[in-house]
Structure 1
Amino acid sequence: MKLRNGILGLALGLLMGGVSYSAFADDASTFVYADAGEPSTIDPAKANVNWEFTVTRNIYDRLVDFDLDDPSKLLPALATEWKQDGKVWTFKLRDGVTFHDGTAFDANDVKATLDRLLKIGQGQSYLVDDIASVTVVDPKTVKIETKAPTVFLASNLSRIEMLSDEDIAKHKDDLGQAWFNENANGTGPYEFVSWTRGTQIELKRNDKWWGKFPEKPFDRVLDRFVTDGANRARGLEGGEFDLANFVPLDEALRIGTSSGFHLVEGNNLWAWPAIYLNMDLAPTNNKNFREALVKAFDYNAMVQSFQGKAEVGRGPVPSWFPGSPEKEEAEIKTDLDGAKAALAKSGLANAKMKCSVPAGFPEFRFAATVLQSSAQQLGVTVEIEEQPFVEAITAIKSDKSNCFVLGNANLSPSDATKFFSAHYLKGGFYNSGKFFDQTLQDLVAKLPTISDAVERGKLLKQAADIVVDSHYIIWTARPKTVVPEPDRIGGYRIDPAEYINARFWEMYSK
């Protein structure tokens, strides 16, 4: 689209592997998106990272959507109405919806999708793992029974993409994993066209979509894989890309405030980075020692590293989340005197510890170095070890490390229990430091059964307080998402309960 220069396009093409895309320079109906990675799968049952959701969210629809401006509000999508009666939810489905291959969407597709997702047990399946059974009442009615009453089912279904039961049946040998990994047939606003490995995925607009496009939508989307942040920034600024994911913050601020651009800001997922402290391995198995680390940490340094586009969280639940107790929580700030007093109580002077950091994330590395310098003021030595993600999280889980740097994330727009289950309950994948509290386990199990929002809010505060008081996590910062958007483009919005990507169906050319 638009301002692309043939020479610039050739130069950037060479930087990205010798391929030039300047042939698209005059095509105003094409939207070029620079994504930070290439999907390992486009199977909605397995998708789990930004560049996979970029594709699946735009090809497939969900039963319900939620209002980005009000995360507590659900909107009709493939389901036009729904109701709960104890453990049973009933969904009425939209008429006249077809998949991209022309087959009609009905209740059989819902059942097949959810049954398959739960069997595979990957990706976003944790959001609906409380489903006991799915029953087709008639082609336009489906009943879903949960293992226990939960007020959050509809909300969590806003993240589950619906597949065709015919596709699932046609490729049933491996639950369709091989086929869905690299093929797609949804009901959504964009259709899958092709996947050029190492380069891009091409989509085209579904002009038979039941939803509404803005004026001047994009008929064609090229989801380009550009792994280098500097190249994403350079291509966006030069007009080679219409939007780019994960532009380095300093570049995003510079580009977004320059002529021809504006900044789009929004809430990010929970906290980033978060430092998990090992509850089983000395010296971090000592609560007073953990408290000393939490109080010694230089939070101002982290906020400054985000150039002021961040705040310090007060606990695990951000203020924008429905029912969040964040404003009622005590402010978390650097308190060196308090840290020294806590360290004295621990009896662990001159302690040494190791921190594992997933490689490739400058924010994670910086958070670890801030911890290192902050702890040094207490006479505590922190050794930092950067490793690939799997090795880094395995190090703390196998008690070879005292801390692990990652983020706190939740894909549900209103259900905090799924987040707590993944990060703070026994067996949770991201519960890397092996935190356990029976009262918290009981609270998380009870929360979904409470229909009164005020009462749920009280229980959520109790749950958050338990995690805060344990000093298991150092919430280093809660940054804003900052995305530079060209003035020639409109419609980009940041989803507060999503990994950062683009809703192409809302984008338009000005």
Structure 2
Amino acid sequence: MKSLSGIAGTALLLMASAMGVNSASAQDATTFVYADAGEPSTIDPAKANVNWEFTVTRNVYDRLVDFDLDDPSRLLPALATEWKQDGKVWTFKLRDGVTFHDGTPFDANDVKATLDRLLKVGQGQSYLVDDIASVTVVDPKTVQIETKAPTVFLASNLSRIEMMSDEDIAKHGGEAGEAWFSENANGTGPYAFVAWTRGTQIELKRNDKWWGKFPEKPFDRVLDRFVTDGANRARGLEGGEFDLANFVPLDEALRIGSTSGFHLVEGNNLWAWPAIYLNMDIPPTNNKDFRNALVKAFDYNAMVQSFQGKAVVGRGPIPAWFPGSPEKDQPEIKTDLEAAKAALAASGLSNATMKCSVPAGFPEFRFAATILQASAAQIGVTVEIEELPFVEAITAIKTDKSNCFVLGNANLSPQDATKFFSAHYLKGGFFNSGKFEDPALQELIAKLPSVSDPAERAAMLKQASDIVVDSHYIIWPARPVTVVPEPDRIGGYRIDPAEYINARFWELYSK
């Protein structure tokens, strides 16, 4: 997969034109050119789970409700105009006059088919709604969703679930038909799928029959280009080849954002990135005092400086922006070598050696492991770093061949922390790589969704967060700010704090 930059990029664009691929420049006021960091493996909403897949699904499909970026505690009407909860049953009233891009009317049968299929597939974002027991069509504009237990978070989590056509699902069922969803899209959203030129781009067009509201001077077409090299994305953005670029390296983003014709857009990021998980099963990290020594020895300032000051040190697993976050009431986590040495002495361990597995291709992960290595050395602990492909790296700690694993903490739900805790800190959670387990935490997370009082939920969330912090299972090196350089000729870009970094094309406009 080649990047569109320099001589090679020009040659590839000429080749693309010869094959019929539109190579509109970023200076075209009606066409928006986006440099994405990768090419999707699927654009099936039931399976999409990474940035460059959400780039398509978030813009082509709509959701029942939307998350208010300006106020994380609020949800906004979308395909559903109103909703209510009665115990385990939620009732959603659907919007009139909505059609899919192929002209088919949207109704309650589409909601049922979408959720039934998502839960059956069990991939992608299905974990957000895995507490659904059944979906019932009351009438064409009313759907009832019953959960396995009462949960106040269902509507919030549905703000991430894209609605599909029941006719498409019926037509393309079975293994052979499933491939259709991976490379085609038919939603009700602001942009419609046009074409996918493998290795180059996906083309979208504006849906002028969309129920929502576009800004003045919206873009009629979007070219989602696949540009895997960060330096090439930066150069293309700066040179005017792209209107916006995903994952521009921080130093380049800060430099470009300060030059004439550009400005910086900053916002909250997903939870914490990176995070260091410590193995609870094998020595020496199965010793709580030893883990405490590592937490206190870590050089947090060095990690913040690596983000050029565009980061803070988290106080626990839940960031301050999250509704009900206990962060402001939790003690600051900071380097304290004397306390680290005291904790190490309490552990009874000396001259300890441990191994840390790091997914290859993530400079921040490698740097965090290097800081851990240097910090631990100051208290007499040896850390051996092993870079591996992601699956091998996480398997190493899960099979007790490694004492630590570096990854990011992430949560796609804008209001429900229980899904995050379940994945990262409860028994059986995929990202619970160090096999942390606490019965009190398990009980809190199971009960929390049924509590209607926000103050009571906040208190329980603090209890849950404190349990994780006090276990010293995780080292949170930094919580970076997302920094995106945007050309002055473009407006409307916003960062969704509960989302992988991508673009909401329906909010963008040409100045």
Q: Residue 24 of structure 2 corresponds to which residue in structure 1?
A: 24
Contact 2:125 2:161 in 1 (8 A): yes
Question: Structure 2 stretches of 5 or more lacking a match?
Answer: none
Contact 2:16 2:23 in 1 (8 A): no
Is 1:347 aligned to 2:348, yes or no?
Answer: yes
Q: Deviations over 1:90-126 (max 9, x none)?
A: 0000000000000000000000000000000011000
Residue aligned with 1:366, SS: helix
- 1:174 Cα shift? 2.9
Instruction: Tell me the distance in 1 between the aligned counterparts of 2:8 and 2:172.
Output: 42
Instruction: Tell me the distance in 2 between the aligned counterparts of 1:490 and 1:470.
Output: 45
- 1:17 Cα shift? 10
Write out aligned runs for 1:132-147 (5 A).
Answer: 132-147=133-148
Q: Residue 209 of structure 1 corresponds to which residue in structure 2?
A: 210
- 1:27 Cα shift? 3.0
Contact 2:16 2:22 in 1 (8 A): no
Instruction: Tell me the distance in 2 between the aligned counterparts of 1:207 and 1:241.
Output: 24
Q: Deviations over 1:397-436 (max 9, x none)?
A: 0101000000000000000000000000010000000000
Contact 2:352 2:381 in 1 (8 A): yes
Q: Residue 481 of structure 1 corresponds to which residue in structure 2?
A: 482
- 1:74 Cα shift? 0.4
Q: Residue 193 of structure 2 corresponds to which residue in structure 1?
A: 192
TM-score of the superposition, structure 2-length normalised? 0.97
Is 1:219 aligned to 2:216, yes or no?
Answer: no
Contact 1:116 1:175 in 2 (8 A): no
- 1:16 Cα shift? 8.5
Q: Residue 254 of structure 2 corresponds to which residue in structure 1?
A: 253
Write out aligned runs for 1:187-336 (5 A).
Answer: 187-336=188-337
Contact 2:5 2:232 in 1 (8 A): no
Instruction: Tell me the distance in 1 between the aligned counterparts of 2:14 and 2:204.
Output: 22
Instruction: Tell me the distance in 2 between the aligned counterparts of 1:361 and 1:154.
Output: 34
Q: Residue 438 of structure 1 corresponds to which residue in structure 2?
A: 439
CA RMSD between the two structures: 1.5
Report the AA paired with residue 144 of structure 2.
K
Instruction: Tell me the distance in 2 between the aligned counterparts of 1:436 and 1:360.
Output: 30
Contact 2:33 2:225 in 1 (8 A): yes
Q: Deviations over 1:33-60 (max 9, x none)?
A: 0000111110111111110101100000
Report the AA paired with residue 484 of structure 2.
V
Instruction: Tell me the distance in 1 between the aligned counterparts of 2:104 and 2:176.
Output: 20
Residue aligned with 1:57, SS: helix
Q: What is the aligned length? A: 504
Aligned-pair identity in percent equals 86
Report the AA paired with residue 491 of structure 2.
G
Report the AA paired with residue 178 of structure 1.
A
- 1:378 Cα shift? 1.0
Residue aligned with 1:439, SS: helix
Contact 2:357 2:406 in 1 (8 A): yes
Q: Deviations over 1:275-301 (max 9, x none)?
A: 000000111011000000000000000
Cα gap change, 1:296 to 1:504, in 2 (>3 Å): same
Q: Residue 89 of structure 1 corresponds to which residue in structure 2?
A: 90
Residue aligned with 1:283, SS: coil
Residue aligned with 1:72, SS: coil
Contact 2:307 2:480 in 1 (8 A): yes
Report the AA paired with residue 79 of structure 2.
L
Report the AA paired with residue 12 of structure 1.
G
- 1:347 Cα shift? 1.2
Q: Deviations over 1:253-284 (max 9, x none)?
A: 00001000000000000000000000001110
Q: Deviations over 1:217-259 (max 9, x none)?
A: 0000000000000000000000000000000000000000100
Instruction: Tell me the distance in 1 between the aligned counterparts of 2:436 and 2:22.
Output: 52
- 1:23 Cα shift? 4.7
Contact 1:132 1:146 in 2 (8 A): yes
Contact 1:8 1:238 in 2 (8 A): no
Report the AA paired with residue 160 of structure 1.
I
Contact 1:9 1:22 in 2 (8 A): no
Q: Residue 500 of structure 1 corresponds to which residue in structure 2?
A: 501
Report the AA paired with residue 129 of structure 1.
D
Q: Residue 4 of structure 1 corresponds to which residue in structure 2?
A: none
Q: Residue 64 of structure 2 corresponds to which residue in structure 1?
A: 63
Q: Deviations over 1:190-212 (max 9, x none)?
A: 00011111111110100100000
Cα gap change, 1:382 to 1:74, in 2 (>3 Å): same
Instruction: Tell me the distance in 1 between the aligned counterparts of 2:270 and 2:86.
Output: 31
- 1:13 Cα shift? 3.1
Contact 1:357 1:405 in 2 (8 A): yes
- 1:179 Cα shift? 1.2
Residue aligned with 1:40, SS: coil
Q: Residue 392 of structure 1 corresponds to which residue in structure 2?
A: 393
Q: Deviations over 1:164-217 (max 9, x none)?
A: 000000011139531111110000000001111111111010010000000000
Question: Structure 1 stretches of 5 or more lacking a match?
Answer: 1-6
TM-score of the superposition, structure 1-length normalised? 0.97
Contact 2:189 2:210 in 1 (8 A): yes
Report the AA paired with residue 310 of structure 2.
K
Q: Residue 448 of structure 1 corresponds to which residue in structure 2?
A: 449
Contact 1:10 1:22 in 2 (8 A): no
